[in-house]
Each structure stands twice: as structure tokens, then as C-alpha cells.
Amino acid sequence: MVTKACTKCKRLMESERCAICNTSSSKNWSGFLIIIDPEKSGIAKELNIGIPGEYALRVR
Amino acid sequence: MIYAFRTLVGQEKNVARLLARNVKNSELEVNSILVPDTLRGYILVETSSKIDMQDPALKVPNLRGSVEGEISFEEIKGFLNPEPIIASVKKGSIVELISGPFKGEKAKVVRIDESKEEVVLELIEAAIPIPVTVKGDQIRLIQKEAD
């Protein structure tokens, strides 16, 4: 399966549509980020991420 | 606190995934793991406490140890919002092709398509200038302005 990224929240997934924001996903992404604890993570706060998981840094 | 870990080049994402799985079941307070594309062979790990490299959770294949010292949050901000390569390229810039059939050739930028992230180039050493369209990630900027 190809990993895709949501064009809105940048979350990585394998489905066509994002399960959280219901927008389409894109195969064209770069950068990789794993958020384990969004409450304590400064990176998650900077990027406004509230749900743990895998994210892309840039989605086209 | 942010630390840089050395990994085998090309295995950054795999190491990050394994590390994330290991730390969830351990006492280590890792908050996030960042793998910037521009930083080959390294991953950045954000923690709440000091990290001990002897911890069994950090025994991950292809992980080659850590870089001494901490990294400030300001330093990694640039990685969080990667700027497209095309943003720094202008019409008339001299670039080098880094992949594809014309790898290693130098070319002049003729046109930029920002929405598709493509550039139209003209090879400098070619006898007849033929426009070549390539993706923005296939070029490296050599000279910003044309003479």
C-alpha cells in the first residue's frame, strides 16, 4: 500500500480520504514526523497537532 | 530537549517508527521524532527528560548513536516548514540537474510553474537549446542570478 498524507491535517494514512477531517489525501508528500505526546511536545504545539500519530511536513 | 540521533542513511523513517514503538512501552519520555528530508542520516528526537543511550528501548537496528549536546528549538524551526526548492529559483538562474537522464548537466531556468512545482530548463552545453521540463526536486541551485 502507498502511504498518503491528508492535504489538510498532513496525517499519514493508506486510505483515499482522511478519517479525521474527511478531505482527500495526496501521494506527494515529504518530511516525516511522529508525534507521541502532543501535550508535552513543542513541535506538536508549533504545528498545531493535537492527535498522536505519523505526519508529513509538507503535502502538495 | 531535542537530541540528534545518527542512523544509517536511507533508514531514517524505519528507525523513527521502531523507536516510537519502543518508547511507548518504556519509561522514556519521548514526545516526538522528526525526520527532515534535508538531513540525511539523522533523526531529531524531542524528549522531556535527559536521554540515556544505554536504555534498552534505544536498542534499535540501524541506529548509530547520538550526537552530543542538545539542539535548541529555534534551530529546528526551519525543518518544520520546509520551503520548496523552487521558491529560491528565479528565471535566468543557473542550476544543476541532480537526477534523471541529464544528471550532472548545468542548465538555465527558462520558466517556473509554481503550482506543479516544475521548471523548464535549457541545457547550457547543448548545441541547440531544447527546453527540458523537470520536477523541482531534481535540481540544485548553483547561481541565483543570471549574469
Q: Which CATH number fits domain B2-80: 3.40.50.150, 3.30.70.940, 3.40.50.12780, 3.40.50.1950?
A: 3.30.70.940
Give the residue among B120, B118, B123 at the shortest CA–CA distance from B136. Answer: B118
Which of B13, B26, B34 is the best substitution to test chain A (most A C-beta atoms within 10 A)? B34
Give the residue among B17, B12, B68 at the shortest CA–CA distance from B36. Answer: B12
Closest-CA distance, B147 to chain A, in angstroms, reads: 33
| Domain ranges within chain B, ordered by starting residue | 2-80, 85-143
pLDDT of res. B120: 92
What confidence category does residue B114 fall into, taking pLDDT thresholds of 50, 70 and 90? confident
Domain B85-143 has CATH 1.25.40.10: no
Query: Touching check for A45 and chain B: CB below 8 Å?
Result: no
Mean pLDDT by 10 residues, chain A (60 residues): 84 84 83 87 84 86
Tell me the longest C-alpha to C-alpha distance in chain A. Answer: 32
Tell whether pTM > 0.80: no
Average of pLDDT values for B116-141? Answer: 86
- Tell me the ipTM for this assembly: 0.88
